[in-house]
């Protein structure tokens, strides 16, 4: 006999995300460019979920650094902790952020350079600006993912980690695309001690950091649907030919999609992704959820409506796996909260056997 889940969905959220608030992310001919990845993103999602009758908010515990260091290198973690403050010694102007502008440095070379020059090794692009509270915000974002993993393992069918900054572009020792710590990967590594894990990335952009972290492993399946990197960030990763290496061959799959992708085309790729996950038969599913698949997103080119996003959530929830949903991208502030609510609702109300 089946019944509907009447329990609330646990949602992990930390106001510490507001400590990461760089005033801009770069310059062009018009001057300083404000960041799309701003504090209002998490605030609007939080507000939209407060309007539901199923959202149950919790603060994350302090997990320390052990679970983060299981994914990210100690050198990278220490760099994020100290980068802004070391740079600030040489730049006393208030209201500024450290924006990386040196690229392509190898590890050995980086050891001889100053902290700000090391950005060429540890930070991929100008979207990963370092503000005074960036490290704290990134740390608590990872804690939200870890708290969600722990809660799901203990009891629950779906948990949402309202993570900001996002994480899926961050590799073992490099940040990029607004991402510092890879929240989904940190949760997956934590889960991997309990059994097989699948990560489904439905953010508009390829989850290149997640791919790199698990590329040679067979215990974590990674599948990503995204705008084709032939025209979309991160450009150098996310191609269909990238399918894993070593023990991981066949345990990674990219499903790149063209600009203008509508629901029909998206569902075709999603069906393939869900079949892969079903065959893998994981104990836990992690969904890297980005709402930049929405039709009006400034950093996307897909044509999905809010109803379409609800349908995507429903299709994934039909797997009936213990699921941790981790917030990634989405930058259209006036609809972001409602879009996440639409995506999460099928999980909150899904039928349980």
Candidates 100, 203, 81, 201; CA nearest to 138 is 81
The answer for residues whose C-beta is within 8 angstroms of residue 267's C-beta and 6 or more apart is 311, 312, 315
- Residue 100 dihedral angles phi and psi, to the nearest 5°: -65, 135
Compute CA 100 distance to the chain's CA centroid, rounded to the nearest angstrom.
Answer: 21
Catalytic residue among 169, 205, 252, 332: 169
Candidates 296, 288, 287; CA nearest to 339 is 296
72 in active site: no
- Catalytic residues, which ones? 169
């Amino acid at each position: 006999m089946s019944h509907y889940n009447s329990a609330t969905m646990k949602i992990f959220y930390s106001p510490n995300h507001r400590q990461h608030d760089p005033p801009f992310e770069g310059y062009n001919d018009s001057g300083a460019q404000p960041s799309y990845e701003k504090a209002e993103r998490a605030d609007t999602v939080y507000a939209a979920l407060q309007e539901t009758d199923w959202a149950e908010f919790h603060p994350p515990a302090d997990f320390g650094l052990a679970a983060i260091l299981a994914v990210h290198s100690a050198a990278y973690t220490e760099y994020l902790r100290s980068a802004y403050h070391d740079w600030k010694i040489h730049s006393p102007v208030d209201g500024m952020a450290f924006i990386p502008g040196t690229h392509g440095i190898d590890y050995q070379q980086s050891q001889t350079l100053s902290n700000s020059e090391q950005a060429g090794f540890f930070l991929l692009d100008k979207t990963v600006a370092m503000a005074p509270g960036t490290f704290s915000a990134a740390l608590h974002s990872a804690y939200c993912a870890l708290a969600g993993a722990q809660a799901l393992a203990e009891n629950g069918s779906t948990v949402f980690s309202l993570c900001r900054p996002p994480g899926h572009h961050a590799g073992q020792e490099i940040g990029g695309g607004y991402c510092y710590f890879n929240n989904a990967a940190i949760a997956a590594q934590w889960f991997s001690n309990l059994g097989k894990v699948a990560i489904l990335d439905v953010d508009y952009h390829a989850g290149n950091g997640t791919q790199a972290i698990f590329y040679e492993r067979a215990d974590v399946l990674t599948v990503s649907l995204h705008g084709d990197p032939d025209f979309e960030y991160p450009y150098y990763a996310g191609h269909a030919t990238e399918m894993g290496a070593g023990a991981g061959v066949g345990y990674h799959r990219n499903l790149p999609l063209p600009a203008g992708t509508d629901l029909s085309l998206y569902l075709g790729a999603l069906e393939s992704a869900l079949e892969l996950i079903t065959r893998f038969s994981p104990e836990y599913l992690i969904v890297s959820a980005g709402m930049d698949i929405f039709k009006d997103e400034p950093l996307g080119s897909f044509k999905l409506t809010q109803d379409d996003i609800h349908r995507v959530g429903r299709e994934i929830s039909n797997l009936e796996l213990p699921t941790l949903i981790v917030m990634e991208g989405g930058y259209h502030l006036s609809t972001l909260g409602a879009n996440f609510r639409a995506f999460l609702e099928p999980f909150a109300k899904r039928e349980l056997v």
